[in-house]
Structure 1
Amino acid sequence: MTEEIRQTEPVDYRTRIGQERRQRTYDRLVEAGTMVFADRGVNGTVIDHVVRRAGVSRGTFYNYFDTIDDVLVAAKRALAREIVSLIFEAIDEDLPPAERLAYGVKAFVELARAHPLFLEFTARIGRHAYGFGQVLDEVAPCFVRDSIMAGDFCPMPEEMVTDLLEVGTLALLRRIVAGEDVDVPAFVAAILRMLGVAQEEATRIAALPVVCPVVPSEALLAQSNAAWIKSH
């Protein structure tokens, strides 16, 4: 047994170190891509801009991405993950599930509205990358399932809830990008109604005020937003 451990541990260690190194390089490329998109705009960015910013070769780039659009998808995913993570860190876990979900959707929309680079990504690529629904499933994987099992939401497949949130928030954000005046509480109330919340209760919950979490200055969301504002 001891000999087996001695033989397998170095392999496991090397595998783990290799995975961590790959993840660091991937994260560097995504961060570089996000900042270049912010500086140059989505249409003005090419692969050479990203590799120079990241300090890697084109060969290294192609180990992770095939096209610049793949970086765009990864950048939107990274920003969406930051937004939803911030929201779920700020949510009072003692609130009923419907109120937590309503806060999450409204805060997501308001943070997206305040960060035009993320809105630009959303308008450009839509469901080809994460939005609120998919990142919710990643950040809080048991939230929907537990709420359904507790009877707070009507029985339905978890994927259906994710789809409702994903398609709905995408449509709402695209309307914002187009300059339309959107009724966010009405949208949230409609989502809650589809999840089985009674109409009066859904309307009440959707009208509750929302204080969005503060985005840390070191977050990619904040840094890329500052670069976007400066270049526009």
Structure 2
Amino acid sequence: MPAATKDTIKAATDHRPRVAAERRERMRKRLIESALIVFAQKGVGASVIPEVVAAAEVSQGSFYNYFRTNEELLTAVSEELSNEMLQLIEGVVGAIADPGLRVATALRCYLQLARGNRLAARFLASAGMRVGGEHSMVYDVLPPDLEEGARLGQFDPAALTVAVDVIKGTVLMAMHRMAHGRIAKDYPEQMVQAMLRSLGMGTADAVRLTAVPLPRLAIPAESLLARVQARAAVKAAEG
């Protein structure tokens, strides 16, 4: 066999695993985005596998090649959404020198991301503590900033022992409000001001920090947030 022919066959053979892996990843993403939509509509306590299969337009057998249980699917959605939002926020707050401003900006960005995506907000409100568990913005990003802010006199050190729980509870309530009701344009800022004051910051400083223009969050087109938003727009256009 000529060397050129052998090289062609080898290239085609080497190409197949990559194509199969890419196809598998696309299918997994399709199932996760479909699951987020269904969980947002039905709640995380519901058994949603048949609805997810229908929304993703796959067979039930194909679904079980990726996820075995409803809980496993919920964990996958929670982790992907939490990690995505965390990366977006870390990308814009990392360069902020002032710890109080970092905390205020991170919280405002998180609420604004959810405000801009009603399905994500509904999922986050329903999932509650399951989203990211103790690996989320509240538990991973904020504690070092809160401690630094306390050393600088921005926060009350005594409040830090319950700070993450106060913030987590307030954020969940805000998610519920944004997902199911009408809110004022500055609702995220009002909520962040309340959180900052609960941690010992003065009202004037809380208002000042939440008045700083937010950095632009560039949401990639291939992200879970963008894909879900696009599907929601298509469904709305269809009537």
TM-score by length of 2: 0.68
Give runs of aligned pairs for residues 199-210 of structure 1, distance below 5 A: 199-210=203-214
Q: Deviations over 1:157-206 (max 9, x none)?
A: 75622212211111112111122224222211111112221221112212
Deviation at 1:217, TM superposition (A): 1.1
Tell whether the 8 Å contact from 2:36 to 2:77 is kept in structure 1 after alignment. no
Report the more deviating stretch, 165-174 or 33-42: 33-42
Seen in structure 2, the aligned counterparts of structure 1 residues 88 and 97 have a Cα distance that, compared at 3 Å, is same
Q: Does 1:58 align with 2:64?
A: yes
Q: What is the match of residue 46 of structure 1?
A: 49
Tell me the equivalent position of 2:127: 125
Change (3 A) 1:204 1:146: closer
| Runs of at least 5 residues in structure 1 that lack an aligned partner in the other structure | 1-23
Q: Which runs of 5+ in 2 are unaligned?
A: 1-21
Alignment map for 1:1-232 (pairs within 5 Å): 31-37=29-35, 42-43=41-42, 45-46=48-49, 49=53, 52=58, 58=64, 61-62=67-68, 66-67=69-70, 69-91=71-93, 93-130=95-132, 134-139=136-141, 142-156=144-158, 160-182=162-184, 183-232=187-236
Q: How many residues align?
A: 204
1:207 CA drift (Å): 2.3
Give the whole-Å Cα distance in 2 for the aligned partners of 1:188 and 1:224.
26
- Which range moved further: 50-59 or 111-120? 50-59
- 1: distance between equivalents of 2:66 and 2:77? 17
Task: Work out the CA distance in 1 between the residues paired with 2:189 and 2:229.
Answer: 26
CA root-mean-square deviation? 3.6
Q: Which has the larger radius of gyration?
A: 2
CA gap 1:119/1:179 in 2 versus in 1, 3 angstroms: same
The structural deviation recorded for 1:134 is 3.3
Is the CA contact (8 Å cut-off) linking 2:85 and 2:110 kept in structure 1? yes
TM-score scaled by structure 1?
0.70
Distance 1:133 1:152 in 2: 25
1:37-94 C-alpha deviation (Å, 9 max, x unpaired): 36667449416727948985637623xxx32x54234313321321121112112534
Q: Match of 2:128, SS?
A: helix
Judge conservation of contact 2:193–2:207 (CA < 8 Å) in 1: yes
Distance in 2 of aligned mates of 1:221 and 1:84 = 12
